[in-house]
Amino acid sequence: MPKNKTHSGTKKRVKLSSSGRLLRKKAFSSHLLTKKPSKRKRKMRKDKPFAPCDVSRLRNLLGK
């Protein structure tokens, strides 16, 4: 049986932390930032973990 290929779109968007959690960027943080409050923009800088229901599917796409 051949190996699973890594999904290149997922590879670009998902980061694996040192503790093994899958992290992602927050949405709505790339443009139209002048109307958003500073507090909201600051919170968007941090990476956010995925929901537990998505983790197994993403690990499969990453070939882990």
Q: Measured between alpha carbons, how far is residue 30 from residues 12, 22, 33, 41, 46 in Å?
A: 16, 21, 7, 10, 13
- The alpha helices in 1-64, defined as continuous H runs, are 8-13, 38-45, 52-62
In a domain, 20, yes or no: yes
64 falls in which pLDDT band (50, 70, 90)?
A: confident
Asked, for residue 1, whether it belongs to a domain, the answer is no
- Model-level pTM? 0.78
The answer to whether residue 2 is domain-embedded is no
45 found inside a domain: yes
pLDDT tens digits for range 9-53: 999 999 999 999 999 999 999 999 999 999 999 999 999 999 999
Rounded to 5°, angle at Cα 11 from 46 and 15: 30
Maximal C-alpha separation, the chain:
52
Question: Does position 63 have pLDDT exceeding 90, yes or no?
Answer: no
- In the chain, how many domains are there? 1
- Please indicate, yes or no, if residue 21 is contained in any of the structural domains: yes
Q: Is residue 3 part of a domain?
A: no
CATH of the domain at 36: 4.10.410
Per the structure, the complete domain to which residue 38 belongs is given by 8-62
pLDDT above 90 (res 3): no
